[in-house]
Chain A
Amino acid sequence: MVRYYLLTLKIISLAIFIWLYYIFLAQIFHFNEVITTDTDEYVLLSFIEAIRNVFSYLIYGFGYIIALLFIIATVGYVGRVYGNTYMYDFIRVFFERYISKWFAISTPQLSNLPNLITDELQILLNDFYSLSFQILFIASIYYSIRAIFKSDPKTNFLAIGSVIMMIIIPLMIFGFRDMLHLLNISIPYLENLPNPIDEVLDEIPIENFFEFIASPVILFAIISYIYLELAFQIDYTDIVTKPSLERSERLEAQLSILARESYYVNANVEKIKEEAKKKLAEIEKGEEERLAIGKLFAKTGKRFSYVKEMIERKKLEEEEKKLITAASKTRRLGRYVDRLFREDPESRDTLTASSSAPRVGNLALSTIINFTYRIILLLIISFIIIHPKWILGTVIQLPPAITESVAMYSPEAIIILLLPIMLIFPVISQLISFIKHRNLIIRLKQEGRIKEILTSVGDYVIKEEAKELGEEKIEELAAEST
């Protein structure tokens, strides 16, 4: 039953991820922007071509330079025979007219190569930017599928993280570009990059709570949270139910094996004894006659090895006893378990702990309650953080001079509530660890004190014993004298 519950949770989780992706691709992220380049070429192909070109130019340039260096080194001899410029012209013609054709280089002059490589590198960087979204897209799909088979929130984090990175990367890059614009600096590379993020990201309706919830970005955030929350719930359910399930299966298997073996032993006692005897006879064959222990001391004149004797005896005993002991133990245990189950009917349940496994109903109820509670809390906190004016004016009742100030309409106003709310959790965790630490110190001190008391009591006991012993001695002396 628990397994079905887990499976249901995983299917719901997958459905939520699909919903998340739908919102992401339909309303937030224009994926087509990063699939093709400006020239309608696929980014992946363009990226591969750019790499190829960069390497072609490098190899061509390297060969050209090596050839020139060779000529410079040998010009004394060749120059005398053919004239000074002949060899240079030969190399130039050979590389620019023939070799460049093979490398497909349009302007094959050596002086043009740096520019060509720079151009290709820029293309490469542009393509890498677009390609990174494709890689993140594939990663998120891969991890979301993996999360179905593995109950580990890390996998879900990676899936969601990849999607969120697809939003964060352009936000960071274009935010940086805008910042440079404020300083009148412009980087051409940044100007040409495609922005796949929809404008909807800048238009979050913060005045109305319901519009706020319904906006694609907030909806995306909420669904992401639901997905992660569900991942934790799956992980929790798995952690809390798996040991019980495994234990139950393991114990049931053990009990059935025990019942079978016990039955077999009961039915074949004689056979097992025969086998043990046979084994013993085989071992004893060729062995020297064993000395009876009592007789060993009579043979004081002869030198004999106790150790050797012991080892031989042990070997014989081991082989002889192994089968019989195992059979006897199995039979005894079988009988004991039968009796136990007869006398204590709940012992089967307690042994397999099947009754202690969490019930699906309870699990589902607690999951729903926790889930709803946290989602509502998250929505309220998010609204408060993004819309601080209402809280500061109505709840905290700051004077209008503050609430109506221009600063309150700037994005930085969010920090006023964001920071304290963000710090609540680390502060609480620090408080808990501090209290725990303090309690531990108190306990250790108490234990130390108890030890001290015990030691002093121990001394007292020792003293008392000594006293008693003394008294005993007196009694003995008295008895002797009488």
Chain B
Amino acid sequence: MNVEELRVHRELEKEKVFRDDFVHIKVIIENIGRNSFDFLEIRDQYNPQLFRRILGENFISTRIGPKEIIKFSYVLEPKVRGEYAIGPLSITIKDRLGFNSLERIVPDSITDILIYPPYEDIKRIEILGSKRSLNLNYGVQRSKQKGLGSEFYGMRKYVFGDQFRLIDWKASARSQQLIVKEFETERDVTVMVLVDSSETMAGGAIENTKFEYAIRACMLLTKVALTRRDNVGIFTFSDKKNFNFLKPNGGEEHFYQVLDFVARVKPEGKCKMVEAMEFFTRRFQKRSLVFILSDLESNPKDIIEAIKKLVPFNHTIILINPFSPWFEIHEIDLSSTDKALAEAISEEMMEHILVIKQDLRNLGVNIVTCGPDDIMNQVLSNYMEAKKKGRAY
């Protein structure tokens, strides 16, 4: 039994996949030797906490003849966003009577797979957009300035130098003098999404943590903002080791850059908001619409100080606060002690946020506290509101 004569490798249908999508994994075993393997067991390992096996089986017990190729496959559904490994592949070969066996891990049999946040929110928005219920086509920033936009602003008499294409011939004919149309200028806004990636954001069920919701909200906001021709930049922060900055940019391509960027971020480290904002202001100074998604579970003084660092740059700041108890109490059957504890924690948390809220109001920053079922709506509606009011340009 020479295990070296077995060539085993894995083929992934795709190496980047959305969280609610499926991925087909194929394992190919080839016996390049002249002897058969009477009993062969191949197992492809994956972490069941991160992936759910939907179809097929990740192992096979069979025999393989000389120069024979065997294939088996299975379908996984990723449960959690991030960059994870599938594998390794392990081989067990036994003799015919099962007296002797040999187990081997196939070298280099780990494949990385990048799991994007779920696409369902975006799909929903796309469907709504296609129905024009979101008014996406008219969603560019209203600048109330005349220019070369598409929105009608008014009419005036023709003066020398005006473009001929702007002449409204009907109106000119009616008034017997040349009249030109004027349009509102359309200006793009830079939206910066600052996501707290500290370990406190990872509380709750692994699939539905505050961080996961924040990432989903960030993705949704990016999609909507890019569709409206705004530039979007991302900054995830916790401690000094975990500052990740993605430069603001626009266009369809940038959305995939954002996807790649957010898929790789893990919630870890302590929240050093002051340092994070210092870092951010060093990297980016342009006036913009800043969304901060944070559970605000650090010292209120630090939070205020951190926000103060943004204020001089004239950003429009919207602080979205996923309220921890709503995300973390995910078990319905809580014991009475657990319920009492949860209530006490909730009350304390609420007091904590109210303190921050009060102080930030003086800085003109509003905190929007939300739960898992309205975080998306809150982010979107605040973005819309800001655009409508023509803030941050």
Contact = CB atoms under 8 A, between A and B. Distances in A.
Interface of A: 232, 236, 239-240, 243-244, 247, 251, 254-255, 258, 292-294, 296-297, 300, 305-307, 310-311, 313-315, 317-318, 332-333, 336-337, 340, 344, 346-347, 349-353, 355-359, 362-363, 366, 370, 429, 432, 465, 469, 479
B368 A350 contact: no
Given A244-B60, A254-B55, A307-B342, A340 B329 contact: no
A251 B60 contact: no
Given A294-B370, A351-B73, A362-B65, A306 B346 contact: yes
Given A297-B369, A429-B99, A306 B342 contact: yes
B63 A358 contact: yes
B323 A293 contact: yes
B173 to A, nearest CB: 53
A240 B70 CA distance: 14
Contacts of A244: 60-62
A333 B62 contact: no
Contacts of A465: 241
Given A293-B323, A293-B326, A358-B63, A350 B342 contact: no
B136 to A, nearest CB: 24
Contacts of B329: 306-307, 310-311
Contact of A236 (B73, B96, B346): B96
A239 B63 CA distance: 10
Given A247-B57, A293-B371, A356-B62, 4 more contacts: A251-B57, A293-B373, A351-B56, A353-B71
B9 interface: no
Interface residues of B, number: 55
Interface string B317-328: 000000101100
Contact of B22 (A258, A294, A336, A346): A336
Contacts of B61: 239-240, 243-244
Contact of A350 (B26, B332, B334): B26
Contacts of A366: 36, 38, 63
B128 interface: no
Contact of A337 (B55, B74, B369, B373): B55
Contact of B97 (A236, A258, A297, A344): A236
A300 B96 contact: no
Interface of B: 13, 20-22, 24, 26, 36, 38-39, 54-57, 60-63, 65, 70-75, 96-100, 240-241, 282, 323, 325-326, 329-330, 332, 334, 339, 342-343, 346-347, 350, 353-354, 357, 368-371, 373-374, 378
Given A353-B60, A366-B36, A294 B368 contact: yes
Determine chain B's interface SS by DSSP, over half rule. mixed
Nearest to A300: B354
A433 to B, nearest CB: 9
Contacts of B374: 292-294
A98 B169 CA distance: 145
Contacts of B332: 311, 314-315, 318
B326 A306 contact: yes
A293 B370 contact: yes
Which of A315, A337, A347, A350 has the largest number of chain B CB atoms within 10 A?
A350
Given A236-B38, A311-B332, A311-B334, A357 B62 contact: yes
A310 B208 CA distance: 15
Given A232-B97, A239-B39, A314 B330 contact: yes
Nearest to A311: B332
Contacts of A337: 55, 75
Contacts of A355: 70-71
Contact of B55 (A251, A310, A332, A370): A251
A432 B326 contact: no
A346 B72 CA distance: 10
A313 B55 contact: no
Contact of B325 (A247, A310, A336, A479): A310
B110 to A, nearest CB: 16
Contacts of B96: 232, 236, 370
A369 B320 CA distance: 73
Contacts of A296: 369
A258 B325 CA distance: 38
A306 B374 CA distance: 16
Contact of A305 (B63, B241, B343, B354): B343
B91 to A, nearest CB: 14
Contacts of A351: 55-56, 72-75
B60 A469 contact: no
